[in-house]
Chain A
């Protein structure tokens, strides 16, 4: 049900420019206005979300420690999994953000007769996630070509690397294909693993369908429908130089792609996709385990009601004296 609703929403998004551009000639709206709105919504949304998170204090030093602590000098500390210094934390975060280290340690279990529980390593989610995020990133980087003139030299290298297979004309770029495969894997897993299906919300399917449709329209444009790249670049350069114009000859598939991308951009700050910002602020990962060495200050720490020693002794003085315990007041 959640999946179907999300699919309908994405199909709707595809139909809008199809009708709007083909039927109503709203090129300016879909080529210029919508992308600008999306970027504005994105910027405002991301900034306000990060500020909302950042404004909330971190009252306690609560890293999840995943290795040996720093203690006696002859015991080897696990400096990345249980960092006690800032550089250790930076290392831990880099491995987390760039290589998904926690997910790399994922396990699965099996219960057999006996009962007998056994555990094994499972890397599929890690691999799928990593392939998805990195290929998406490379696709994004490749798109810089549309917004720069002259095109920076490093992009040539990226493209050469991305097209190392050297098959097809135009040459197949791995990143786009991997992105589509990975996002499809993430979707299928959500549908076919019973536990994951059980927890999935519409908000989990929607971005998958959205990204899937972005990848499909992108691939269609590059390999099958052969859009007019010169006109498209005129439009995109116009967007970044605020010299907006709608050149002739851009086919509707581009407008569909652009609306889907705009929707994704605008959707990011209000959705779970913000996890990319959240992971950096996650107190179980971004704090050093040094709270016995350096006092962590809680800005809202307040005095509390306590039961003092005097009250305790007042209640038990006779019993304490009888048991031979020292007392403050005889």
Chain B
């Protein structure tokens, strides 16, 4: 594994494009910037083509003989199935408004990380094979043939895009590089070209229900550790249920929060909140994943993985579904699930059993975001909160790309934070809400071997945190995404040491005064509460 350069080295960035034209500059696949190739066993589990042992750094990628034909045929099919793809291939005027909006471009200076050029990598092949001008005029018309070098370039740069959609906010035609990258990755997958960091979790999710491959008894075991910790902190014993038929609500959250901190603290937050409310809900070990690494592979695989949520809701006979804090999970739930696997006519329009609020905005999918749910509780005065318990924290909030630009969930988490914390500071408004920067590791790029590009891509977000850390002493970065919780921790340690990362429901649980709780002396992490230092 490549050694990651130090921050001061990495932040020397050269934005001058090379002398040679981009088509004449083959991609150099630098270690630290790509992920290991998909292992055959994972592709076999998913019934994906061309499973074999292969290494990215090898010359020979062991492709099928007719690989060009496969890719071009795949392209033709997708041009006929997705208007977004077809239109976005045709209408770009290369105005360059998107160029400096990509976190990977800002962090690397590599011109092929400009969204427009990332798209041109695919467009050039489209022109050469599917447009008259491209076929006749070739390079003058911006066309090029599909060669092995082009294919490797695709691999390199379509796994250097986190599908965050920031460029599409600024594009005057709304051209969305996420759509282009998704198509690029679908085409690569036709040849068995995926990263193992994506195909592994996807295979796990397919067989075991979640990305981490937690088997049913392990899920129960992991949660029981958290329940012990909750009891230690609050004195309250919680007994959640699993796979319970007849529950009112099915709760689905990303499995990352069942596994490692700081996500586990968010998970403890859910457990405490639902217990306090006396919510009639159940966890599922079969639909134990809210996230969807299929979404980073192909539309079909995303649908295959997503099917479990409605299937399990139907099997258990619940009335509606509540979803935890996660980014791309919510892009999928908001924009894809109902289309793939709906209509969910076996469910009821979600109604909060605590406040009676009917979530009209979810009347078709029947799935509510936990931030919407909790904001409604607080608004209706159903929670007893003591924000002073979070007074040791100076909090800022990172909007996740997908809940920001694929949903528009901005006020709900802010409303919650403002009710459970006394010290909340916004980052530069050109880096939040719809203009938020990606954590740098979304869309399945959160591996270990590509740490250099992750830290490069994470620079814009981290730098905006650093700004509020210096101005206001911010020491906690809140967010509503499991991948954020995992990767921003690494990015903070690298760029802004001292800033910790939390989910919003961890903050809620710390502030929430529960019925029958003992006097709390520590927060969920075991750190002393403000005013309780030295009590231990």
Q: Which of A's residues lie within 8 Å of B, judged by CB?
A: 1-2, 5, 49, 52-53, 56-62, 64-72, 74-76, 78, 81-82, 84, 96, 100, 102-103, 105-109, 111, 114-121, 125, 129, 193-204, 270, 272, 274-275, 278-279, 281-285, 289, 291-298, 300-301, 304-309, 312-313, 315-316, 319-320, 322-326
When A67-B434, A281-B87 are in contact, do A297 and B170 touch as well, CB less than 8 Å? Answer: no
B493 at the interface (CB under 8 A from A): no
The stretch of B64-72, B299-307, B484-492, B505-513 in contact with A is B299-307
When A57-B81, A68-B411, A325-B216 are in contact, do A309 and B286 touch as well, CB less than 8 Å? Answer: yes
On chain A, the residues within 8 Å of B411 by CB distance are: 68, 75-76
Interface size on B, residues (CB 8 A): 118
Bound complex: CA A1 to CA B372 (Å): 55
Bound complex: CA A84 to CA B408 (Å): 11
B303: min CB distance to chain A, Å: 5
Bound complex: CA A257 to CA B94 (Å): 27
| A316–B408 CB distance below 8 A | no
B326: min CB distance to chain A, Å: 15
Q: Which of B's residues lie within 8 Å of A, judged by CB?
A: 7, 11, 13, 15-17, 21-22, 47, 79-84, 86-88, 90-97, 99-101, 106, 111, 114, 116-117, 120, 132-133, 140-142, 165, 168-176, 179, 206-209, 215-217, 220-221, 242-245, 285-286, 299-300, 303-304, 307-308, 311-312, 315, 333-336, 338-340, 342-343, 357, 359-365, 367, 372, 375-376, 379, 404-412, 415, 428, 430-431, 433-435, 459-460, 463-464, 467
Most chain-A CB neighbours within 10 Å: which of B13, B300, B303, B404?
B303
| B216–A281 CB distance below 8 A | no
When A117-B464, A199-B117, A325-B216 are in contact, do A59 and B415 touch as well, CB less than 8 Å? Answer: no
A-B contact pairs, 16 of them (CB 8 A): A53-B87, A57-B81, A69-B361, A74-B379, A106-B170, A196-B96, A197-B17, A198-B17, A199-B22, A270-B133, A282-B173, A284-B176, A297-B339, A313-B286, A320-B216, A320-B285
| A304–B409 CB distance below 8 A | no
| B245–A284 CB distance below 8 A | no
| A193–B82 CB distance below 8 A | no
| B311–A75 CB distance below 8 A | no
| B434–A66 CB distance below 8 A | yes
| A203–B216 CB distance below 8 A | no
Bound complex: CA A53 to CA B142 (Å): 21
When A72-B376, A319-B216 are in contact, do A111 and B106 touch as well, CB less than 8 Å? Answer: yes
| B340–A65 CB distance below 8 A | no
Beyond the given pairs A105-B170, A129-B95, A291-B365, 17 more chain A to chain B contacts, judged by CB atoms under 8 angstroms and listed by A's residue number, are A53-B86, A56-B82, A66-B405, A67-B408, A70-B361, A81-B434, A96-B174, A125-B96, A195-B15, A198-B21, A270-B132, A278-B87, A292-B361, A298-B340, A319-B217, A323-B220, A325-B285
On chain A, the residues within 8 Å of B142 by CB distance are: 201-203
On chain B, the residues within 8 Å of A67 by CB distance are: 408, 410, 433-434
Bound complex: CA A225 to CA B80 (Å): 51
| B216–A62 CB distance below 8 A | no
Of B99, B174, B464, the contact of A284 (CB 8 Å cutoff): B174
Residue of B nearest to A300 (CB): B81
| A195–B215 CB distance below 8 A | no
Q: Which 9 A-B pairs have the closest CB atoms?
A: A278-B91, A69-B408, A115-B11, A323-B217, A284-B174, A65-B408, A285-B174, A119-B430, A198-B17
Bound complex: CA A196 to CA B99 (Å): 8
A281: min CB distance to chain B, Å: 5
On chain B, the residues within 8 Å of A289 by CB distance are: 334, 407-408
When A272-B93, A316-B215 are in contact, do A198 and B22 touch as well, CB less than 8 Å? Answer: yes
| B361–A60 CB distance below 8 A | no
A162: min CB distance to chain B, Å: 25
The binding surface of chain A is classed by DSSP as loop
Bound complex: CA A109 to CA B170 (Å): 14
On chain A, the residues within 8 Å of B303 by CB distance are: 304
When A111-B106, A116-B463, A295-B338 are in contact, do A316 and B216 touch as well, CB less than 8 Å? Answer: yes
Residue of B nearest to A119 (CB): B430
Of B80, B81, B174, B412, the contact of A75 (CB 8 Å cutoff): B412
Of A76, A307, A326, the contact of B243 (CB 8 Å cutoff): A326
| A62–B84 CB distance below 8 A | yes
| B217–A320 CB distance below 8 A | yes
On chain B, the residues within 8 Å of A300 by CB distance are: 81
